[in-house]
Structure 1
Amino acid sequence: MDGGSQGPGLPETRSTCPYCGVGCGVLLRPNGAGGLAVRGDPAHPANYGRLCSKGSALGETVGLGHRLTAPRVHGVETGWDDALQLVADRFRETVAAHGPDAVAFYVSGQLLTEDYYVANKLMKGFIGSANIDTNSRLCMASSVAGHRRAFGTDTVPGTYEDLDAADLVVLVGSNLAWCHPVLHQRVMAAKQARGTRVVVIDPRRTASCDGADLHLAIAPGGDAALFNRLLCAIHAGGATDAAFLRHTEGFDAALAAARADRGETGLSEAEIAAFCRLWIGTERVVTVYSQGVNQSTSGTDKVNAILNCHLATGRIGRPGRGPFSVTGQPNAMGGREVGGLANMLACHLDLENADHRAAVRGFWRAPAMPDAPGLKAVDMFRAVGAGRVKALWIIHTNPAVSMPEADAVRDAIAGCDFVVVSDVTGATDTARLAHVLLPAAAWAEKDGTVTNSDRTISRQRAVLPAPGAARPDWAMLAEVGRRMGWTAAFDYAGPAEIFREYAALSGIAGRLGRDFDISGLSGLDDAGYDGLAPLRWPVTATREGGRFFADGAFFHEGGRARLVAVTSRAPAAQTSADHPFRLNTGRVRDQWHTMTRTGLSAKLSAHLAEPFLDIHPADAARLGLAAADLAEVTSAHGRAILRVRITDAVQPGQLFAPMHWTGETAPSGRIDALVAAATDPVSGQPESKAAVVSVRRMQAAWYGFAVSAGPIRPDCAYWALATTRQGTRAELAGREAPADWEAEARRLFDLPGADATSIIDTARGTARIALEEDGRLLAALFVSPAPVAVMRDYLAALPGTGAAGVLTGRPPKDMPDPGPVLCACFGVGINTIVAAIEARGLMSVDAVGAALEAGTNCGSCRPEIAALLARAPHREAAE
């Protein structure tokens, strides 16, 4: 468990990063005062010591100021006994009055496997409903469905080592450089060492395109059409593997469908031909796909179109060959394994298979077991809104922000008879709607396991005490199970006991012909569990880890894989005169989900401090939009206000906006309020990357920028808050100007008695106000009729200092301004990099790294550094 005791302080403890599905190992060292030092674990096979900017900043996210530390019932703190008894009583009463399908759990890939297992067992085996679904439905449900159609079970065939061994890596709908930076650096290392070629298939030009050999700017929804074209080219070029195809069925039908497919790719014939030649001519090819494939009303078909090409060529299950789904959450895979989705049972068993149901029910000694899938996420919240689901437990997720048609989901939760929310904070859009709030232990405080994207099971270990009355999730769920009358089934002493039970159940699944079998771990004692090193499943008496399917053995009845006939489909929503733009949504480099963790880090908040809209220059010109304007974006379901970024990284008619901002951080930036809840008919996954919207310039009467050592309380049409090392910063805009700007500043910062210094020009519509106490700056507000032009990063560092000259908005001439942070890992600003390029004659990204460290950790800022080099006079950027 312990990783040695290098340096001062307590020993380091091996654990796992709580962000994406890469599953990086971390070494954690508490400082004894609530703080935490974090570094990558050189021994972990997922990352070998590397961390991205988010992982590197984990130590900044463990403060307790935002934490929920006691149960609350109707907003009033109470004890665990009263809170959990109320939960158990209300769920029991609802089931008795309305049946088991009147209750539901909506859970999360932030749960540990042991938590997930208990939740699934309680809902499916004892309450007797399959109404448990997870926010992973928004992430990888289409991949699960595609795997099951092709392989017979939800099996990831390959391993991360395939990225090292491949001669061609194709990224489809995956901005790997920003969303999974450690894996992207692994690909780039293979490119440098072995000449691995990289193709990016994405409507946008993303950071992943830097270093790629080919970028195919595919039309939204065109992935299946492209891979159907590839399947036709495979057959026409004689590249099928006849021996491997004997282990499959459905090739003729799949080929016929591919030949008949007339779907639009948005690519030229020359681009398609170049891609097909490269893919067919490279034996060792890995096709990595993510949300651009999954988050679609045809996501499952897109997955199967990719799988068809690998099956037809036998490029699966061998080193450097195979399809590879990369997941978005740390334990999305663990949730899949325990049956956290509404249409699955634990251990990859099938809910609709009578033998599987009987096996699980007998193992659990369960009183009830549903025989049909429960409500998937979108349908679940529709049922909540319609009053069919009357008691809802939401665990570690924020659906009032993250679900499509988020406004309707928020209203559905608000109208539900009984809502329980378990989380680490009460300050989320969803938590504010709960009748009962339960304080959960956070990452670094809880103990269990997670599974990453390549089937590696890693331990997450507690190194900090949980604050106040906070408890692990499994403990809350088990206690409710006991209070509902099932004492023996939920009488767990700790996560090790849960893990042993789960591992034993997987042995039954293995005997039923399933892939997921970790029965070799069912005998682990507590000490063995505590010391468990990362290992890849399956883990049985005869096998550990490895790849699947090279031997042609699959999990359908008869043992063959199935190629699926696919016909591409356009996105469900179509552009029109009222909604002429196609909106793509996704992540940014340094933030995570709805920012309840990353938003606490000043380092991570410095890169992109507010929600934005990427729009092509031609579209911006036609709409009269300038850079830094605010744009109103409207769909049939909602509205947002976003900062304009003009860029040719998006194509004409297409837009991009990030999905992280909430009612807590930027209420008008809740982008999923615009997204229609259209879903894939097989997987139930919503189409989050193809909404149709209109755009117009927001007619703001004033724009503002504010910094403060304390909280900022905006009350205007647009605002966005971000954490700084000195406090908070805010972007502001309003449709009407206040009559008294100094009075407004005092209200905004809640500083009625502070000393004020101001420069106000009513005729020009400008105001600059500094509020001080004993010569120390408390807050400052800058107002202009146009977007405010001040040195934001400089000003953000001033609260708490003497800050003479703050109202100039600029640093003194003798003080260098580093500019906006570009490298979050080392806090290096754009101006610092540009100055070094010019003064030192730096000619490459590596040279910038050697001089300033920028780009030398996770590497996700390297494309931006390359862009600065390219803009430098008389210089060419080079890797």
Structure 2
Amino acid sequence: MNDARKEVKTTCPYCGVGCGVIATVGEDGAFSVRGDPDHPANFGRLCSKGSALAETIGPEGRLLEPEVMGERTDWDTALSFVADRFSETIAEHGPDSVAFYVSGQLLTEDYYVANKLMKGFIGSANIDTNSRLCMASSVAGHRRAFGSDTVPGTYEDLELADLVVIVGSNMAWCHPVLYQRLAAAKQARPGTRVVLVDPRRTMTADIADLHLPLKPDSDIALFNGLLRFLAAPEGSKSDTAGRPAPVDADYVASHTEGFDEALEAALAYDMARVSRETGLDEAQLAEFYELFAGTEKVVTLYSQGVNQSVVGTDKVNAILNCHLATGRIGKAGSGPFSLTGQPNAMGGREVGGLANMLAAHMAIENPQHRQIVQEFWGSPTVATTPGKKAVDLFTAIEAGDIKAVWVMATNPVDSMPDADGVARALAACPLVVVSDVVAENDTLPFAHVRLPAAAWAEKDGTVTNSERRISRQRKVLSLPGKARHDWWIVCEVARRMGFADAFAYAGPHEIFAEHAAISSYRNDGSRAFDIGAHAAVDRSAYDGLAPFQWPQPVGKLEKTTRFFARGGFFHPDGRARLVPVTSRSGPEACRDFPFTLNTGRVRDHWHTMTRTGLSPRLSSHLGEPFAELHPADALDLGVADADLVEIASPYGSVIVRALVTGRQQQGSVFVPMHWTGQFAARARVDTLVPPRTDPHSGQPASKNIAVHVSRFAAQAYGFAVLSRKPAAIDADYWALARCKGGYRLEFASAHPFDDREALLRRWCGGTGEIAAYRDAATDGFRAAVFEGGRLLGALFTAREPVAVSRAWAASQLIADHGNGARRALVVAGRSGSRKPDPGALVCSCFGVGANDILGAIAGGCHSIEAIGQQVKAGTNCGSCRSEIKVLLDRSLPVAAE
């Protein structure tokens, strides 16, 4: 079919919510997206990132041809090179001398064949995934408690619960569509209560009835204290007024083991100890404990704040213990719920993409499972021991133990802890193969072989979201250049390594059918993951596959949407395990590193920005890397809002913009994870993160890092808007962001700038007419370069941060400058009109700034809905509604109640 007039139902490639998307290619080739109203994950909603997907589609920056040793080549040469080098390495050094590092951005079919090749035919388990960085502790906690990696509940439970406890998750920014579902449910049922457990007062706190700003990594103490309270309420009124007893003795006796041992560990956590370890006062604790004890329908949502810790698995089990003890699991509106980070982290877990798992959720340490997998695959071997988990994998590469690595759809030089150490490891590795969509990222310079992969709109396969729902991702656009599907690339390498028969798939539908078949092979209900009902799927049925939740065993297509309400756990005795856990302290603050660093996401960007960085809209909300500091800490450091700060750990340092806010806890600092060497000079925050991991899951600790913070004493500041990307930026600090018509650039230096006119000309290509203004007294400089009526670039520098409206300056790149008066205004850095500056962007969908919203409030709009009617902010994806509420609360605290 021609790409014109095409409308395709597919799935969003961002977070684990798994939203349905309708992608349309118009008659003129224009690409657009909207939410799929029929998809049960989002019912038509999309967040700001999903709404802007059309702005990230196109050939710009794509890797379009295979390359070997820096030279472009054909596919046969590149694939044969990879196969031969891997085979030679294995023959000389053994199967454990090679490794794959894969990604939750892969589709399930891609993941499946990569895992099959490594574990069943190469014979090593050295395949791990960047999902290790976000969900491994949840997997380990599930397996310890349930005997399987099974999320018990569904998204619907958020709308049925009477109490939702959100632990270590900024849902408003990281899972915004689920957040909006919860907000809508709370509005429809005002009695629904929400508790947020998070050191930061994030935007999610604005929906919370109670915010518990606990100390980093003190979750175990909090939930151990809760378990103790549930067993011995210490004056609680939970058992009165007809409310149920907190501990469900019948459920515990019939379906669990280990309650007494878990309670014995928890009994050491009286209110005084919990208060001391968490930093919360006893009244806050009592309010939370009473709420949990007295509410039957409780959902506990948890995410990276729980998982990304050296005690992440124990945190997960501390939460699960409370739900198992009360029997609040697998019931409508009740249960623990892990929010996955990536679009297909769950699919990767299903196929055994983690180094310590086998296909179909089978366990590598289980001899029977190994036999099942090898028998089903008909493979010459199967890995018998766990492979290297992500951090250990790169350590082994640097040590020379792994001599060939294939990186697929991820950017470890930015996203791994001790990121500079990862760069050193790849630099020392004899063979680095990278499959990716982009031609430039911080990992690709280390690649001996670069393989162009299909991007989101070109891919065809399946993904699984956080509620176990499998959805189709369908091809919308043709493959550009010589780009190929990841599954095809892996299978072609496997064929050249001598395994052609086992990897002779006609398309992703055959891979999915095999994936479904192995899930039911010799299962008989002994394993949770079973989609055997789809083992006979053909191309037509696959193309029309509707979203469904597993399990769907052979002959049983009825929907089983929840697990464990009546037991049925997957330990051999069918019982769950309550796991005794005790708190352990994190890294001790010291004189050299007195602050605690927490890393995470922002609203409008995703991972290392290879996709969202292409969108001017998404880059407008937060255009620079930043560090949130508490006002008291900023005062002590001599740091003002918008100053630059240097943050250092024993592993590296970054320079970012200071954002002084009372939402941050004193003694802590937050820096987002997204900025890379492609977008900023020194903002790769994972260079600060030590390679410390949870002993059970192997997941790194990215939320509790001891760091030093100091003001960066810049002597000169600059801001520029440019119609093209600058080739080189010579500054101690710089941050580059897309805008309509070009780029915005912030920069600063510890020394005065040299010839600024020459600098601007170099950035603009050396052509055009220049108009400039210098202020000798202040060393201020403003200049602009024009070509006809078009602005090629404008530069503003000063000794202090430049005072010019960023939004207005960026808009001049698409304005007409055919007369001298307009050119003079650009150099002056002001509009010359009475139209007010819209202020910092709040609503990405409609380009509404903070000043626009404040103006609507001043004009009588005293609700989020009224503001939306006036200026449209918050009326599309809803991701900005929490920020609108902040502005409303500050302006009209009474009216906002």
TM-score relative to the length of structure 2: 0.95
Residues 91-148 of structure 1 show CA distances to partners (whole Å, capped at 9, x for unaligned) of 0000001111110000000000000000000000001100000000001000000000
**Matching of residue 649 in structure 1 with residue 644 in structure 2:** no
Contact 2:723–2:764 (CA under 8 A) maintained in structure 1 = no
- Alignment check: 8 A CA contact 1:87 1:420 kept: yes
Query: What residue in structure 2 maps to residue 841 of structure 1?
Result: 860
The alignment status of 1:855 with 2:874, answered yes or no, reads: yes
- 2:729 equivalent in structure 1: 714
Separation in structure 2 between the aligned mates of residue 512 and residue 133 of structure 1, nearest angstrom: 27
Q: 2:208 aligns with which of 212, 215, 221?
A: 212
Taking the TM superposition and a 5 Å limit, the aligned residue runs for 1:661-672 are 661-672=675-686
Q: Separation in 2 of the partners of 1:328 and 1:458?
A: 16
Deviation, 1:569, is: 1.4
Taking the aligned partners of 1:502 and 1:751, their CA distance within structure 2 comes to 53
46, 49, 62: which is aligned to 1:51?
46
Counterpart pick for 1:260 among 253, 260, 268 = 268
Aligned counterparts, 1:784-795, within 5 A: 784-795=798-809
- Whether contact under 8 Å (1:35, 1:62) holds in the other structure is no
1:138 aligns with 2:133: yes
**How far is the alpha carbon of 1:753 from its aligned partner?**
2.8
- Of residues 89, 109, 112, the one that matches 2:107 is 112
Deviations 1:710-753 (A, max 9, x none): 11231111111000111011110112223321112222x14223
> Relative to structure 2, which stretch is displaced further, 594-603 or 23-32?
23-32
- What is the Cα deviation at residue 11 of structure 1? 3.9
Deviations 1:158-197 (A, max 9, x none): 0111111000000000111110011011111111112211
Shift of the 192–509 alpha-carbon distance from structure 1 to 2, 3 Å rule, reads farther
Asked whether the equivalents of residues 716 and 753 of structure 2 are also in contact (C-alpha less than 8 Å), the reply is: no
1:824 paired residue among 844, 847, 851: 844
Structure 2 counterpart of 1:344 = 357
| Structure 2: stretches of 5+ with no match in the other structure | 234-244
Whether 2:286 is the aligned partner of 1:273: answer yes
Residue equivalent to 2:240: none
State the one-letter code of the partner of 2:177. V
Q: Which runs of 5+ in 1 are unaligned?
A: 3-7
Q: Residue deviations 1:307-346, cap 9 Å, x none? A: 0000000000010000000001000000000000000001
8 Å CA contact 1:447, 1:460 repeated in 2: yes
The AA in structure 1 aligned to 2:875 is: T
The whole-number CA distance in structure 1 between the counterparts of 2:664 and 2:523 is 47
Q: Aligned match of 1:398 in 408, 411, 419?
A: 411
Superposition deviation, residue 769 in structure 1: 1.2
Shift of 1:754: 2.3
Instruction: Supply the AA of the counterpart residue of 1:707.
Output: V
- Check conservation: 1:702, 1:765, Cα contact below 8 A: no
1:278-317 alignment runs, 5 A limit: 278-317=291-330
Match among 222, 229, 236 for residue 233 of structure 1: 229
* In structure 1, distance between residues paired with 2:427 and 2:854: 50
- What is the rounded CA distance, in whole Å, between the counterparts of 1:797 and 1:468 in structure 2? 33
Q: Deviations over 1:56-105 (max 9, x none)?
A: 00000002111111101122211000000000001000000111111000
Q: Which residue of 2 aligns with 1:5?
A: none
Answer yes or no: is 1:602 the counterpart of 2:616.
Answer: yes
Aligned with residue 561 of structure 1, among 576, 582, 591: 576
1:368 to 361, 381, 386: 381
After superposition, the Cα gap between the structure-2 partners of 1:869 and 1:158, relative to the gap in structure 1 and judged at 3 Å, is: same
Could you tell me how far apart the structure 2 residues matched to 1:609 and 1:415 are? 34
Classify the secondary structure of the residue corresponding to 2:812: coil
SS at 1:104 equivalent: strand
Distance (Å, rounded) in 1 between the aligned partners of 2:127 and 2:524: 26
Residue pair 2:458, 2:474 contacting (<8 A) in 1 also? yes
Does the Cα contact within 8 Å between 1:61 and 1:600 map onto a contact in 2? yes
The AA in structure 1 aligned to 2:523 is G
Aligned positions of 1:364-763 closer than 5 A = 364-508=377-521, 510-511=523-524, 513-540=526-553, 541-542=555-556, 543-571=558-586, 573-712=587-726, 713-747=728-762, 749-763=763-777
1:82 alignment partner in structure 2 = 77
Q: Is the 8 A contact 1:339 1:346 kept in 2?
A: yes
Residues 814-868 of structure 1, C-alpha deviation per residue, up to 9 Å, x if partnerless? 3343222210122212222122222x31111111012222112232211221222
547-556 or 186-195: which moved more?
186-195
Contact 1:349 1:509 in 2 (8 A): no
Rounded to whole Å, the distance in 2 between the matches of 1:836 and 1:276 is: 40
- Paired amino acid for 1:819: G
Q: 8 Å contact 1:24–1:46 — kept in the other structure? A: yes
Change beyond 3 A, Cα 1:244–1:190: same
2:145 paired with 1:172: no
Q: What amino acid sits opposite 1:339 in the alignment? A: G
1:33 Cα deviation from its structure 2 partner = 5.3
Task: Find the aligned partners of 1:309 and 1:202 in 2 and give their Cα distance.
Answer: 18
Write out per-residue CA displacement over residues 393-437 of structure 1, whole angstroms, 9 at most, x where no aligned residue: 000100000001111111111221100000101210011211111
The CA deviation at 1:512 is: 6.8
8 Å Cα contact 1:629-1:697 kept in structure 2: yes
Letter matched to residue 683 of structure 1: S
Give the SS at the match of 2:706. strand
CA distance in 2, matches of 1:188, 1:851: 21
Q: Distance in 1 between matches of 2:560 and 2:101?
A: 31
For 2:895 and 2:204, the matched residues in 1 are separated by: 16
Residues 19-60 of structure 1 deviation map (CA, whole Å, 9 limit, x = unaligned): 000000000101255541100000000000000000000000
Alignment of 1:769-808 (within 5 A): 769-800=783-814, 801-802=816-817, 803-804=822-823, 805-808=825-828
SS of residue paired to 1:799: helix
Give distance in 2, aligned partners of 1:110 and 1:825: 25
Could you say if the C-alpha distance between residues 391 and 32 of structure 1 is closer, same or farther in structure 2, counting changes exceeding 3 Å? farther
How far did residue 813 of structure 1 move? 2.4
Return the alpha-carbon distance in structure 2 between the equivalents of residues 165 and 408 of structure 1. Answer: 46
Residue 811 (1) aligns with residue 831 (2)? yes
Letter in 2 for 1:200: L
Instruction: Confirm whether residue 17 of structure 1 aligns to residue 6 of structure 2.
Output: no
| Counterpart amino acid of residue 219 in structure 1 | K
Residue 202 in structure 1 maps to residue 198 in structure 2:
yes
- Give the 3-state SS of the residue equivalent to 1:502 in structure 2: helix
Post-superposition offset of 1:509: 5.6
Give the structure 2 partner of residue 123 of structure 1.
Answer: 118
Cα shift at 1:871: 3.2
Shift in CA distance, 153/611, structure 1 to aligned 2, threshold 3 Å:
same
Where does structure 1 differ by over 3 angstroms across 4 or more consecutive aligned residues?
32-35, 874-877
Question: Identity over the aligned pairs, expressed in percent?
Answer: 60
- Which residue is equivalent to 2:236? none
The residue aligned with 2:896 is 878
- Compute the displacement of 1:669 (Å): 0.7
Residue from 238, 243, 246 that aligns with 2:250: 243
